[in-house]
Amino acid sequence: MIRPKNAESANKSFGINYWSTCAEEGNDIKAGTILGSSDDMFFVSGQITLMTNTVGGTNKQNNRDRILAYRNALLTHGRIVTAADIKALSFNHFKNTISDVRIEKGTRKEISLKAGFSRTVDIFIKANSVEKEKLSTTEWDYLCESFMKHLKSRSSNVFPYRLFIEN
């Protein structure tokens, strides 16, 4: 997100081209980091400040990840319907940072006094401790949040999902 420092630039639009060859190494650059431009790049300002942490960079897929992505595409066709679809999406999304996924039916107490209990779909993810140590807490939180967002957008389930992390 770009925010101009002065009010006269408020209605101007900006086009940004960027790239990175560092993949996962480029993740978790903190917000507020000042980026300098190289000599062949011309900006109005000589410095750019990051507004958010960098996330989402991934390395090239290995054979296991390719098989999971292919299996996910064949089985689900982009939809999440069954518990097997949720498991496939989990392994495809978290890659080797998790070692096991369990899907169970659950209940939760509603906030309102008249609602009582409601049914849920509980997802228990067992983290791979060796791989999880390589991630920062912000990267892990981003992975979990993006997983839930992705799951809710592709799911046809009427019950709410709950995510539980087991170490």
Residues 157 and 143 in one domain: yes
Q: What distance in Å separates the CA atoms of residue 8 and residue 90, rounded to the nearest whole number?
A: 47
Does residue 83 fall inside a structural domain? yes
Residues 73 and 30 in one domain: no
Does residue 85 fall inside a structural domain? yes
Q: Please give the angle made by the CA atoms of 62, 66 and 67, to the nearest 5 degrees.
A: 120
Range of the domain at 46: 16-59
Residues 81 and 140 in one domain: yes
Lowest average pLDDT, out of 65-74, 95-104, 118-127, goes to: 65-74
Does residue 44 fall inside a structural domain? yes
Does residue 4 fall inside a structural domain? no
Residues 38 and 105 in one domain: no
Strands 161-166 and 117-127: parallel
Does residue 6 fall inside a structural domain? no
Residues 100 and 155 in one domain: yes
Q: What is the mean pLDDT of residues 102-129?
A: 90
**What residues does 109 pair with on adjacent strands?**
117
Residues 107 and 155 in one domain: yes
Residues 27 and 74 in one domain: no
pLDDT band at 54 (very low <50, low <70, confident <90, very high): confident
3-state secondary structure of 118: strand
Residues 86 and 50 in one domain: no
Q: What distance in Å separates the CA atoms of residue 93 and residue 80, rounded to the nearest whole number?
A: 13
Q: For residue 98, what pLDDT is reported?
A: 93
